[in-house]
């Protein structure tokens, strides 16, 4: 476990207490059962804004606190533990990262304060295939009348229904993948809500000859580099949320092993189940080391941050896949029922594993980056 600063420890304690009190998984169950189309609880989102979480990655001169990626990761882990639904990751983590790295001062002045106060919800619109592929971008951004004309279709866009602005990955005339800020209400933009297993806000977004000014182009980095840098940060952030989902799944399982009795004994006393718990704990600690290494590498500007991002997504994905399966299996029949929370964790696990690339993709990416 990474050594946290005093400020990070305080924020972690604050997040843990607030999540367990105000937004436990039971709230997510109620939200699902209400068949709401909003994607998240507006009151909970407002509370996150008030606690300053939306400004963690934003520089102070734009209204934020600039506390770094590990600090944000600590918050994401706590949210993952209770399956908290909010635009925090999509907007204040991924969206803010794109503006911070690719925006000029005017763009930062325009977008970052809105991210901090919650009035703007940004989301990264990247995938066009059922499975994430980094280079499978067919959306086109053609130069036109001193600006750009955008066309294409995106799928599985996180917070796609709630978003006010899309950060769209598209190919320019030169063939490079660049990022563009597209208002959700712009002419030519349409979106359709998707019904996903984790019951989160995902959308299909269609762009039909969307006219954009030059100011919509995030051009603060060399061609194609911003796209890669944002994806690296996104993967490291997802890994921290996955860590939270997996760790809480382990705690639920361990508690069951200590309390469920069979043949007059708690089932955790049976050697086979004890060995299984030990293996899962070891995998959990490995996943934590890799997840934290990913966000720390970004904070430090390390040369291997791309590899660490891939490693964090791969190892937390492996742990979460096994852990969510064992959560169901060890709980037996009750684990299969909707009355128990295990199914929520399994479904969220599968969605997070697929987001920005699954374990196989990132194992291959890690090996490639290391020259294998």
* Fold match flag (124-218 vs 225-369): no
Q: pLDDT, tens digit, for every residue of 83-95? A: 999 999 999 999 9
CATH topology (fold) of 225-369: Butyryl-CoA Dehydrogenase, subunit A; domain 3 (1.20.140)
Pinpoint the alpha helices (H) of 38-168. 42-50, 69-81, 96-102, 105-117
For residue 38, the model assigns a pLDDT of 56
Per-domain boundaries in the chain: 6-120, 124-218, 225-369
- pLDDT tens per residue across all 372 residues of the chain: 778 999 999 999 999 999 999 999 998 888 888 866 657 889 999 999 999 999 999 999 999 999 999 999 999 999 999 999 999 999 999 999 999 999 999 999 999 999 999 999 999 999 999 999 999 999 999 999 889 999 999 999 999 999 999 999 999 999 999 999 999 999 999 999 999 999 899 999 999 999 999 999 999 998 889 999 999 999 999 999 999 999 999 999 999 888 887 888 887 778 888 999 999 999 999 999 999 999 999 999 999 999 999 999 999 999 999 999 999 999 887 888 888 899 999 999 999 999 999 999 999 999 999 998
- Record: fold of 124-218: Butyryl-CoA Dehydrogenase, subunit A; domain 2 (2.40.110)
**Which CATH number does 6-120 carry?**
1.10.540.10
Alpha helices by DSSP H, the chain:
6-22, 25-33, 42-50, 69-81, 96-102, 105-117, 225-259, 271-299, 305-331, 342-354, 359-369
What angle do helix axes 6-22 and 42-50 make, rounded to 10 degrees?
Answer: 160
Q: Minimal CA–CA distance to 80: which of 15, 131, 127, 124?
A: 15
| 336-365 tens-digit pLDDT | 888 889 999 999 999 999 999 999 999 999
């Amino acid at each position: 476990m990474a050594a946290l600063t005093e400020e990070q420890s305080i924020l972690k304690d604050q997040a843990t207490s607030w999540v367990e009190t105000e937004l436990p998984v039971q709230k997510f169950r109620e939200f699902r059962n209400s068949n709401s189309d909003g994607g998240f609880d507006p009151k909970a989102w407002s509370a996150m804004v008030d606690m300053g979480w939306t400004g963690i990655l934003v520089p102070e001169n734009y209204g934020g606190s600039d506390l770094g990626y590990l600090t944000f990761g600590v918050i994401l882990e706590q949210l993952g533990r209770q399956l908290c639904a909010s635009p925090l990751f999509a907007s204040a983590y991924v969206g803010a990262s794109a503006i911070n790295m690719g925006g000029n001062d005017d763009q930062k002045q325009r977008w970052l304060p809105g991210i901090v106060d919650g009035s703007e919800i940004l989301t990264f619109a990247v995938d066009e295939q059922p499975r994430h592929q980094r280079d499978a971008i067919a959306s086109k951004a053609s130069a036109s009348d001193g600006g750009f004309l955008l066309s294409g279709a995106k799928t599985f866009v996180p917070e796609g229904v709630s978003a006010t602005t899309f950060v769209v990955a598209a190919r320019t005339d030169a063939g490079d993948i660049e990022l563009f800020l597209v208002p959700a209400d712009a002419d030519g933009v349409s979106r359709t809500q998707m019904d996903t297993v984790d019951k989160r806000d995902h959308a299909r977004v269609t762009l039909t000859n969307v006219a954009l000014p030059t100011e919509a182009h995030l051009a603060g980095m060399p061609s194609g580099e911003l796209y890669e840098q944002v994806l690296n940060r996104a993967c490291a952030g997802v890994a921290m949320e996955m860590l939270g989902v997996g760790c809480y799944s382990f705690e639920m399982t361990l508690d069951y092993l200590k309390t469920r009795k069979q043949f007059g004994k708690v089932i955790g006393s049976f050697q086979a189940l004890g060995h299984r718990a030990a293996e899962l704990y070891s995998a959990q600690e490995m996943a934590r080391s890799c997840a934290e290494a990913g966000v720390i590498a970004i904070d430090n500007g390390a040369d291997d941050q791309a590899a660490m991002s891939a490693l964090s997504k791969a190892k937390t994905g492996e742990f979460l896949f096994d852990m969510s399966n064992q959560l169901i299996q060890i709980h037996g029949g009750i684990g299969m029922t909707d009355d128990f929370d295990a199914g929520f964790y399994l479904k969220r696990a599968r969605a997070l594993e697929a987001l920005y690339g699954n374990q196989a993709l990132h194992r291959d990416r890690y090996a490639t980056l290391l020259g294998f």
